[in-house]
Amino acid sequence: MKYSNTLEFAKEQDRKDPLKKFRKKFLFPKHNGREALYFTGNSLGLQPAGVLKNLKTELDDWARYAVEGHFDAKNPWYSYHEMFAKPLAKLMGAKPAEVVAMNQLTVNLHLMMVSFYRPTPSRYKILCESNAFPSDQYALQTQAQVHGFNAKDALIEIAPRKGENLVRKEDILKAIEDNANELALVIIGGVNYLTGQVIDMPGIVEAGHKAGAYVGYDLAHAAGNIELKLHDWNVDFAVWCTYKYLNSGPGAVAGAFIHEKHIKNTKLPRFGGWWGYDKDTRFLMKHDFVPMQTAEGWQLSNAPVLSMAAHKAALDVFMEAGGMAPLRKKSLLLTGYLEYIVAGWNTKLKGRKIKLEIITPQNSAERGCQLSIIAHGMGRDFYNTLTKNGVFCDWRNPNVIRFAPVPLYNSFEDVWRLGQAVEKILKISN
């Protein structure tokens, strides 16, 4: 697409956008009486307009039926989580039996590692990215320690090369090959939270399995952002949160994927809980744990219905939009437009001691809908000024600003208005 930094161009693209109606299905914060420029869906997605109705339904049923709501509610609470299998399977590229909505992301990561991190004295190492999200880092460190290993020895952390911002695929593959005899697990973010880089998930799965290791992914920044094919890629397991691109609310219920080849293996170690027990005999209250032979077999507790009511409102929007394929198509164009706008800022900044450097991959296939920008020569005051001007974005120390133009609710006009706001702040307007 040939872009143009004009309001007319942006409005024309929005008029032609087949997804434009979905913007009205979300609630925007206000700034000076109008919708703020919200580019923080990579941190917390906007509230779907249907959340309040869904919550009211469950609250009314709680008031009307009390405990009998487990079976008599409009959406019976006993089986509430089951309604998410098909939509999550569609978004994750999985079979319905391979996915489950449960817990929170880091809880699910720990539960998956109970099953898929089975270290021995000779094969105990975990390969991960050096700049993984801290919660992942803590989970990996403590899992290694629980098994009696020194975390500094057990973790193989892959970092960008000196002077670079992105991890090279060949460096990941070489690290897997070099440590093949000691490697127990590969666990990497499918989309890096800081840079927005999409890694070659199927390629890493192939290499990890060749080395004799399990391979799993943290999809916190991938779920609802890029197209996934977890089953076809032969991923062993994956975990994700739902409050970012999946728009399910702060601290919302998370999800997990376990490949079909593992879900019926009742000998695979796991932690037990009554909601993972065979549902046909769950209430017989038998002594020994008998897990369901689906991803549900990793559940511990009954469904958090109020959180899941918000999750349902969000997933309904994704299903109405047709899943990830149409969203990804718009995402490529919208993020490309932001990239074009940023290039214009730098052209106008020539000769000054400040620069906005995009550290997200230039290749659109290697990024989602996030652009991470190093604000050279500028401190946090620049970000604070953006916020004061009604621009919601995200700051990461020491000088990275993350913008996420989300295709479900962001528009081309949003991106154009962002450009105008930045130019005004930096005093580079024509």
pLDDT digit string, tens, across residues 152-201: 999 999 999 999 999 999 999 999 999 999 999 999 999 999 999 999 99
- Fold matches, 7-49+323-426 and 54-321: no
Contacts of 266 (CB under 8 A, 6+ apart): 290, 291, 293, 297
Q: List the strands of the sheet with 394-396, edge to edge.
A: 355-358, 371-376, 400-403, 394-396
Residue 48 phi/psi, 5° resolution?
-65, 140
Q: What is the pLDDT at residue 430?
A: 60
Q: What is the CA radius of gyration of the chain?
A: 23
Helices marked H in 66-194 — which ranges? 69-72, 85-92, 105-116, 134-146, 151-154, 169-178
Q: What is the pLDDT at residue 429?
A: 67
CB-CB contact of 325 with 227 (8 Å): yes
CB-CB contact of 220 with 255 (8 Å): no
In CATH, 7-49+323-426 is 3.40.50.12780 = no
What is the rounded CA–CA span in Å between residue 343 and residue 397? 23
Q: What's the mean pLDDT when you consider all of the chain?
A: 96
What is the rounded CA–CA span in Å between residue 402 and residue 366? 16
Got the DSSP string for 128-154?
A: EETT--HHHHHHHHHHHHHTT--HHHH
Q: What is the pLDDT at residue 403?
A: 97
Beta bridge partners of residue 355, listed in sequence order: 376
Residues in the chain, total? 430
pLDDT digit string, tens, across residues 194-252: 999 999 999 999 999 999 999 999 999 999 999 999 999 999 999 999 999 999 999 99
Domain ranges of the chain: 7-49+323-426, 54-321
What is the rounded CA–CA span in Å between residue 54 and residue 44? 19
Pairing mode, strands 34-35 and 30-31: antiparallel
Higher pLDDT, 283 or 315: 315
pLDDT digit string, tens, across residues 244-297: 999 999 999 999 999 999 999 988 999 999 999 998 888 888 889 999 999 999
Asked if pLDDT for residue 379 goes beyond 90, the answer is: no
> Of 79-83, 236-240, 354-358, where does mean pLDDT reach its minimum?
354-358
CB-CB contact of 74 with 57 (8 Å): yes
CB-CB contact of 185 with 127 (8 Å): yes
Asked if pLDDT for residue 398 goes beyond 90, the answer is: no
What is the rounded CA–CA span in Å between residue 359 and residue 62? 49
| pLDDT grade for 106, boundaries at 50, 70 and 90 | very high
State which H helix or E strand residue 262 sits in: helix 260-263
Classify domain 54-321 at the CATH topology level. Aspartate Aminotransferase; domain 2 (3.40.640)
Helices 324-348 + 412-426 axis angle, to 10? 20
pTM for the predicted model, two decimal places: 0.96
What is the rounded CA–CA span in Å between residue 342 and residue 355? 10
Percent of the chain with pLDDT strictly greater than 70: 100
CB-CB contact of 234 with 224 (8 Å): no
For residue 193, what are its two tokens?
């939270």
Q: What is the DSSP letter of 29?
A: P
For residue 49, what are its two tokens?
């307009």
Q: What is the pLDDT at residue 122?
A: 96
Across 25-50, b (16+ Cβ under 10 Å) vs e yields bbebeebeeebbbbbbbbebbbbbeb
